[in-house]
Amino acid sequence: YVLTQPPSVSVAPGETARATCGGNNIGSKSVNWYRHKPGQAPVLVMFYDSDRPSGIPERFSGSNSDNTATLTISRVEAGDEADYYCQVWDSGSDQWVFGGGTKLTVL
Amino acid sequence: DVQLVESGGGLVKPGESLRLSCAASGFTFNSYTMNWVRQAPGKGLEWVSSVSTGGTYVYYGDSVKGRFTISRDNSKNSIYLEVDSLRVEDTAVYYCARDPGAGNYLDYWGQGILVTVSS
């Protein structure tokens, strides 16, 4: 199973950033999202498509339908700059699959 | 607080072996599926392996199947990754991460340990 993410997204502070994750009928799977900054451990920012872990601001939201899942970050801040990865469990192969990651740049 | 601390990394030559460890604390260890995930230099995250709560069920990514072996010792709150026949392309930071179910999500991650494979 393959997940496809655009390599980069750039937005100005205060704008809305959207990271997409494409996969065949991904809407039938649960999608998780992770934020990864250089030298740090990855952080779960969204699970089960649209659930936020405690400590993740309401500015983060998620959706998943048909062949595309989307992580939306509203009112983007400089501290949101990071690589964002989508992930699904592929029950056909019993493997976790990560997308290639999207680098969010805050202009 | 939940803590996951990896150890055992270092510089090894191609074809050699290594044993990575991850010590867990701050939660009921035997209730969680545990995972290894790696990131090669300049690359994205790649899932490596998972082990079920009791250690019975193990899963591997295609690139490591047959060379890596995951295990856990619930009496020591630890998981391990035996990495054999190392290749240059196995050079990466290796993270351990916990999953509250099986195939749910990875809610806590360690800081990672670097494995460098070079002649």
Interface of B with A (CB under 8 A): 35, 37, 39, 44-47, 50, 59-62, 95, 97, 103-107, 109-112
Question: What integer pLDDT is reported at residue B30 of this predicted model?
Answer: 95
CB-hemisphere CA count at 13 Å for B1?
A: 5
> pLDDT, tens digit, for every residue of B62-113?
999 999 999 999 999 999 999 999 999 999 999 999 999 878 899 999 999 9
Q: How is residue B1 written in tokens?
A: 């607080």
Q: B-chain residues within 8 Å CB-CB of A100?
A: 44
Of B44, B59, B112, the CB nearest to A85: B44
State residue B81's pLDDT score: 98
Burial A43-56 (b: 16+ CB within 10 A, else e): bbbbbebbebeeeb
> Can you tell me the distance from the alpha carbon of A65 to that of B77, in angstroms, rounded to the nearest whole number?
39
User: Which of B39, B47, B109 is facing A96, going by the closest CB pair?
Assistant: B47
The burial of B71, by beta-carbon neighbours within 10 Å (0-12 exposed, 13-18 middle, 19 or more buried), is given as middle
CB B18 within 8 A of CB B40: no
Q: What angle do CA B103, B109, B112 make, to 5 degrees?
A: 125
Helix, strand, or coil (residue A43): strand
Pairwise CB contact (< 8 Å): B95 & A87: no
pLDDT in tens, A37-49: 999 999 999 999 9
Provide the pLDDT confidence category of residue A60 given band limits of 50, 70 and 90: very high
Q: In this complex, do A97 and B50 lie within 8 Å of one another by their Cβ atoms?
A: no
Residue A19: its pLDDT value, please? 98
> Which residues, listed in sequence order, are joined to residue B71 by a DSSP beta bridge?
B80
CA–CA dist A25, B109 (Å, integer): 28
Residue A9 has pLDDT above 90, yes or no: yes
Please tell me what DSSP assigns to residue B45: E
**Tens of pLDDT along B54-75?**
999 999 999 999 999 999 999 9
Mean pLDDT of A68-79: 97
Alpha helices (H) along chain A = none
For range A89-101, the mean pLDDT: 94
Calculate mean pLDDT across residues A78-107. 96
CB neighbours of residue A77 within 10 Å: 12
At B31, is the secondary structure helix, strand, or coil?
A: helix
Q: Write down the pLDDT at residue B103.
A: 82
Q: In which band, very low, low, confident or very high, does the pLDDT at B119 lie, cut at 50, 70 and 90?
A: very high
Q: Which of A19-23, A29-33, A82-86, B83-87 has the lowest mean pLDDT?
A: B83-87
Say whether residue A40 is in contact with chain B using an 8 A CB cutoff. yes
